[in-house]
Amino acid sequence: MTKLAMPKIDRKLISIKSDIIADLKKIVKIENVLDHEDETRPFETDALSAYKQKPLAVVFAENTKEVSKILAYCNQARIKIVPRGAGTGLSGGALPLEDSILLCLGKFNKIIDIDYKNRCVVAQPGVTNLSITQAVEDKGFYYAPDPSSQIACSIGGNVAENSGGIHSLKYGTTTNNLLGVEVVFMDGTISRLGGKTYDSEGYDLLGLIAGSEGLLCVITEITVKILKKPQAVKAALIGFPTIEYGGKCVSEIIASGIIPAGMEMMDKALIHATDNFVKAGYPRDAESMLIVELDGTETEVDELIERVHKIAKKNKSSSIKISKNEKQRLKFWAGRKAAFPACGDMAPDYYCMDGTIPRGKLAEVLNEIGRLSKKYNLPVANAFHAGDGNLHPLIMYDANEKNSLEKTEKFGADILKYCVKVGGVLTGEHGVGVEKRELMCEMFNNNDIQQQIKIKKALDVNSLLNPGKVYPILRKCAEEGRIHVHRGKTKFSDIPRF
């Protein structure tokens, strides 16, 4: 496979950098414009971390009017602009370009309104995911989508990537909990979509914005729904002697009509890594493990736990432990929440993948990942949002070894291709960014992609918002031949590497 070209660098803009900086300082406070190499270096990558590129300048806006003026200026001057939240993204969606302005929204960090009557919270995009729950938990409410990075990731980034989490199975991803947004389009137009009500007239533009990865607009305000905490919550920790039995148990729980609040699956490698890390009491002799959480009334939860217990036994479970109190339930989840950092003891580096498959294909895909692990001679640990089929294989490698990253990327690409082959998709919640853009033709033909690009063009005529992300620069696709994506020997030779 060959390599995707990034947008052509405009050397003329770089040559007049001082003029651009001067103009930006007329729009925002002088201290909110960073252009020295040492100042821009912290923003040259995101959590994907395999690639880096310093922007022309970094600009912090403090209000919607400033965002509007910045975008209008960039649109008129034909300057590319890349929105950035907390920088916790895992697909390279916030990677800047050498001739781009990096628009940081970290100062949009306030909760504007908490409306318990309408059960919603209005927040700026820089507010962290967990902060929304913390703001309402004293009244017995919470915000349902809970990515593992919820302590750091911003709600604006969650909307841009349509993030999920362990409770997405029952309560949905960000898009299912999003009521309204204030956005600024590339020409500087400020618009409100949705609000505090559950329904709105016209096209579902709110649904279009969720998961748009910063290609259509800049989000400056977000309204999300909050939920009342359930009367009772219990979690079951279930070990299985094989991956197949664990996967079959997942399918049968859902097929029986039970919708757990969360259902996570881990393989033996990750069981050991996370248990070493947080001492959660995981079944270390198991080949796979499920955490199944049920919520509702006391009677309902007790009945569902008993039904899950029977289904687990039917599928040869080797162990089962039910949380006796809230402290133990949280400990069960502590290991899963710490899965990514726990892998730090397994290898110097790891590459986190993100694909989604039909639930019934869990065991098949896990076995294929095992086969690929042997093929590439790279260890892998697996975590799954098992209930909705969103998998996160963690490939272990050492970036100091020659060609190690390239081999890891090929391994990851093969996993995602297999996801599509069995009826799944390339991403569940991390987005396409630059990581998966060259794989888009595994799912879409040329006409499919062109129709999506037409929507972007309708809102961003000059393709200045976050260019080079999600959509490859096409020649041909699908049955007419794969995308023309490589120009060099490495996957992204146009983006400098660490």
Look over the chain and give the mean of its residue pLDDT values, rounded to a whole number: 91
Question: Locate tokens 């006796």: which residue?
Answer: 324
Q: What kind of fold does domain 232-342 have according to CATH?
A: Alpha-Beta Plaits (3.30.70)
5 — pLDDT class (breaks 50, 70, 90): low
Q: Are 143 and 150 in contact (CB under 8 A)?
A: no
E strands along 198-348, which residues?
218-225, 227-228, 232-240, 262-267, 288-296, 319-322
443 CB contacts (<8 Å, ≥6 apart)?
420, 425, 426
- Give how far Cα 118 sits from Cα of 109, 197, 224, Å: 22, 8, 10
Question: In 260-394, where does DSSP find H-type helix?
Answer: 268-278, 298-314, 326-337, 339-342, 362-376
Greatest mean pLDDT range, 47-51, 91-95, 236-240:
236-240
pLDDT in tens, 381-399: 999 888 888 999 999 999 8
Burial class (CB in 10 A: 0-12, 13-18, 19+), 346: middle
CA angle 3, 6, 12 (to 5 degrees): 145
pLDDT in tens, 269-315: 999 999 999 999 999 999 999 999 999 999 999 999 999 999 999 99
Q: What is the CATH architecture assignment of 11-104? A: 2-Layer Sandwich (3.30)
Instruction: Please say if the pLDDT value at position 132 is more than 90.
Output: yes
**The whole model's pTM is what?**
0.91
Instruction: Please say if the pLDDT value at position 497 is more than 50.
Output: no
Q: Tell me the domain boundaries of the chain.
A: 11-104, 111-228, 232-342
pLDDT in tens, 157-200: 999 999 998 899 999 999 999 999 999 999 999 999 999 988 77
Of 86 and 490, more confident: 86
The CATH code that applies to domain 111-228 is 3.30.465.10
Instruction: Please say if the pLDDT value at position 441 is more than 50.
Output: yes
Q: Are 260 and 387 in contact (CB under 8 A)?
A: yes
130 — pLDDT class (breaks 50, 70, 90): very high
Q: What is the pLDDT of residue 477?
A: 53
What phi-psi label fits residue 104: left (phi over 0), alpha (psi between -120 and 50 degrees) or beta?
A: beta
Q: What is the pLDDT of residue 339?
A: 87
